[in-house]
Amino acid sequence: MVVQTELSDAEVDRIFHALADATRRDIVRRTLVGDASVSSLAADYAMSFAAVQKHVAVLEGAGLVTKTPRGRERLVRADPEMLARAQRLLDAYAELWRGRVERLDALIAEDT
């Protein structure tokens, strides 16, 4: 889509795909506030631990989240740098669309 951004098409694909699932969005939300082990995350979803592990892996692959070992646990946290890049990406789209919508509004206004 060649919006102003430093992200490749494949990275944008991965980011949007990672966010296209309610469980994964919830994991991002929770790890935004503070760290959480994979099992503590898994405790709140009606699916197996392994399934949650996979969701975390998808988020990790998109760079939205990082995992750091602490003892036998793996702490998951939202990665601020990648979130900032994703944020700029979303801003770029929002801005693009805003421009389009305002242009349409202007056309409608002219019609009156």
Given a copy of itself, DNA, none, residue 90, with its beta carbon under 5 to 8 Å by kind, binds: a copy of itself
Tell me the C-alpha to C-alpha distance, in Å, between residue 90 and each of 16, 19, 62, 93, 97: 10, 12, 15, 5, 11
Amino acid at 41: L
Give CA–CA dist 67/76, Å, rounded.
5
Shortest Å, Cβ 73 to DNA? 4
CB distance 55 to 67 below 8 Å: no
By CB under 7 A, name the binding residues for DNA: 17, 20-21, 23, 37-40, 42, 47-51, 53-55, 58, 67, 70-75
CB distance 15 to 61 below 8 Å: no
Shortest Å, Cβ 95 to DNA? 25
Given a copy of itself, DNA, none, residue 79, with its beta carbon under 5 to 8 Å by kind, binds: none
Nearest residue (CB) to a copy of itself, 72 versus 107: 107
Shortest Å, Cβ 54 to DNA? 6
